Homo-oligomer: A and B are copies of this chain.
Amino acid sequence: MADPLKLGLAGIGTVGTGLVQLIAARADTLAARTGRPIEIVAVSARNRRKKRGADVSKMRFVSDPVALANDPEIDVFVELIGGEEGAAKEAVEAALQAGKHVVTANKALLAHHGPALAALAEKNGVALNFEGAVAGGIPVVKAMREGLQGNDITRVFGILNGTCNYILTKMEREGRDFADVLKEAQEQGYAEADPTFDVGGFDTAHKLSLLTSLAFGTRPGSTAVYVEGIETITPTDIEAATDLGYRIKLLGVALRTDSGIEQRVHPTMVPKDTAIANVDGVSNCVAIDGDFIGDVMLIGPGAGGGPTASAVMSDIIDIARGIVLRPFGVKATNLKAYKKAAMRTHEGGYYIRLSVYDRTGAFAAIAQRMAMQNISLESIVQRRPSDERPGQGKTPRKKGAPQASIVMVTHETTEAAVRKALAAIQKDGHVDSKPQMIRIEKL
């Protein structure tokens, strides 16, 4: 049996605790599978004495993560501190410079400094593995960096945020509204006290930018992602989607187009009878379209201590087996500049819901505005307000007050056309609020 592979672990939160548990539970198996024992020899954490679900009392404690990264005893520095700057970045740089392999689950760090860190790793002939940084336990980095490398990828997309998917699933199943479900999710620990990063789509954008780099060999461009969150989705939208044969999911989508790469995060309608529409609750998924393989999808837990520890472990196992690959699959200095496709050139179908004043001619005026932008409609339905179901009697109506939702589904058109049409409709004064617009993804 070869010498042990010695790990220094910085950050013992949920994922760190999971990793300590995994290595403790599986020492013999890991040694048999990799040909060498794997040991955590030293740890670093903000609070040494915090109560944890795993025993780290026998491991050497190093209070400064940078000192741990430089520790002569360790072969691999495992960074589970988090954050794009500060201790995480300094320690990872120090470890790579000291010729140590790095395993990290830090998506923010990679999304912002990925190419520079990868170049540093390559220069020093060490690994910089980040399976845990995207979609938790799902082995998608390995699939893209290794399994699908024979393919030219045209699109990568998925459900990348468990909090949003949990909220949308609950809203659909229980007919409840966003604020209500969010509040419950916060109480149950499925959503943060400040939920903006998750429900606003920004977490999805970070993860998407890493998938984009792996798919297209470009430098991560997380600031170039068009982002919409799920805050505006109403029970009426979900109900209309169901009637139309769709479900609403927050997707991150990266698509190669003639004018560049379209990166977008937004609520999306997907046909109900597809696998992706049935990825529910906190689960995540990543779908990849390649020219030889066709369409592949990976589904699994997108977060959590156990799943992410499983991903981090697979990165460590690769190192124990002597596998050291370029972090992004290609030479870091050869990563291409990210060329953004403008959102207004996006092509697809659209779901549009308008809250319309009940005036003569309003319907005709709206249809006219769509036609002027050459938008052809697949369907147009006037819906009852969602609190007024058949058989429950009618609320008395006031002339001129908002009365009904008009739901339209367009054939394929462009974002620019839809925006122009909706701006004109709003200007005409027939609607009482900002139109709702949800993109439909081709599957």
Contact = CB atoms under 8 A, between A and B. Distances in A.
B143 A139 contact: yes
B325 A306 contact: no
A2 interface: no
Interface string A282-309: 0001000011111111111100101101
A151 interface: yes
Given A142-B142, A297-B298, A318-B146, A309 B280 contact: no
A367 interface: no
A214 to B, nearest CB: 12
A314 B147 contact: yes
Classify the interface of chain A: helix, strand, loop or mixed. Answer: mixed
A137 interface: yes
Contact of A150 (B26, B32, B138, B323): B26
A292 B274 contact: no
Nearest to A29: B152
User: How many copies of this chain are found per oligomer?
Assistant: 2
Contacts of A278: 273-275, 277-278
A217 to B, nearest CB: 9
Contacts of A298: 296-299
Contact of A301 (B138, B295, B318, B325): B295
| Closest A-B pairs by Cβ, 8 of them | A139-B147, A150-B313, A296-B300, A293-B310, A137-B293, A292-B310, A275-B275, A292-B306
27 contacts: A22-B150, A26-B152, A29-B152, A137-B294, A139-B142, A139-B146, A142-B142, A143-B143, A143-B147, A146-B317, A147-B311, A148-B310, A149-B313, A150-B310, A150-B314, A150-B317, A273-B280, A275-B279, A291-B306, A292-B306, A292-B313, A295-B301, A296-B298, A296-B300, A297-B300, A299-B299, A321-B325
